[in-house]
């Protein structure tokens, strides 16, 4: 009996996700679902991206965390519209959570919305939010085996960002091995090797993101 229940839950979530997508499209907003392990640098990537955006591109953020407003406070300090979702223990955001958050954002004044999902490489990929793009953020300290260990996450990504590139040598991170894992799961998926600390690779990532706006 559990399998039909799971299907019913996911089906209901997908319906709300479709409704979210209609709202995003009506507002003309490109929406990214950023997924990663805790500490990979999702918030840092958002802020580094915003720093490189043209002035006419207006960003917004939905922050998903188990608790606290730490990341949302950091984003708000930069003058970026942001809403915090605390899941209270749930390991992922879902479409109904996003729908509840939307009235608190000026969607009509945005061009780009980052949804920073809860730090998790397992179930976040299973729950559609209504986003246009699924972006997985990995990082050098996590190791180069993540695509092999979490195939579902990387197989569903529209782009992968490998953060903390300034630490690749320190952690003996094999970028070619990482890339081969991606190619087996998701042939042709864009991979951006970046460092939010030094700024390396951010321009290339932002250029790709801007191309998705048009």
- Transcribe 42-60 into DSSP letters: HHHHHHHHHHHS-TT--EE
Domain 2-212 listed as CATH 3.40.50.300: yes
Give CA–CA dist 23/126, Å, rounded: 21
Average pLDDT over residues 45-50: 98
Task: Residue count of the chain, please give it.
Answer: 214
Average pLDDT over residues 12-33: 96
Tokens of 60: 């917004």
Q: Within its chain, how far is the Cα of 113 from the centroid?
A: 10
Would you place residue 7 in the very low, low, confident or very high pLDDT band (cuts 50, 70, 90)? low
Each residue of 61-120: pLDDT tens digit? 999 999 999 999 999 999 999 999 999 888 999 999 999 999 999 999 999 999 999 999
Give CA–CA dist 89/214, Å, rounded: 37
The CA distances from residue 101 to 20, 84, 153, 158, 169, in Å, are 11, 8, 24, 24, 40
Residue 8 has pLDDT above 70, yes or no: no
Q: Where are the beta strands (DSSP E) in 37-132?
A: 59-65, 82-86, 112-116
Average pLDDT over residues 172-198: 98
Task: Find the angle CA(77)-CA(194)-CA(64) to the nearest 5 degrees.
Answer: 45
Give CA–CA dist 165/139, Å, rounded: 7
Tokens of 107: 């969607």
């Amino acid at each position: 009996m559990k399998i039909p229940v799971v299907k019913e839950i996911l089906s209901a979530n997908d319906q709300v996700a479709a409704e979210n997508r209609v709202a995003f499209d009506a507002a003309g907003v490109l929406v990214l679902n950023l997924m990663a392990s805790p500490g990979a640098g999702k918030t840092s990537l958002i802020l580094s991206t915003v720093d490189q955006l043209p002035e006419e591109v207006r960003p917004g953020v939905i922050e998903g965390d188990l608790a606290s407003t730490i990341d949302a406070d950091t984003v708000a300090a930069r003058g970026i519209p942001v809403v915090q979702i605390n899941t209270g223990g749930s390991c992922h955001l879902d479409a109904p959570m996003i729908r509840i958050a939307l009235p608190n954002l000026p969607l009509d004044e945005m061009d780009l919305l980052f949804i920073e999902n809860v730090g998790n490489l397992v179930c976040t990929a299973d729950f559609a939010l209504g986003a246009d793009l699924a972006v997985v953020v990995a990082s050098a300290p996590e190791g180069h085996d993540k695509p092999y260990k979490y195939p579902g996450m990387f197989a569903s990504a529209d782009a992968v960002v490998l953060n903390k590139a300034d630490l690749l040598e320190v952690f003996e991170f094999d970028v070619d091995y990482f890339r081969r894992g991606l190619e087996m799961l998701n042939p042709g998926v864009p991979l951006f090797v970046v460092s939010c600390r030094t700024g390396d690779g951010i321009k290339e990532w932002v250029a790709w993101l801007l191309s998705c706006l048009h």
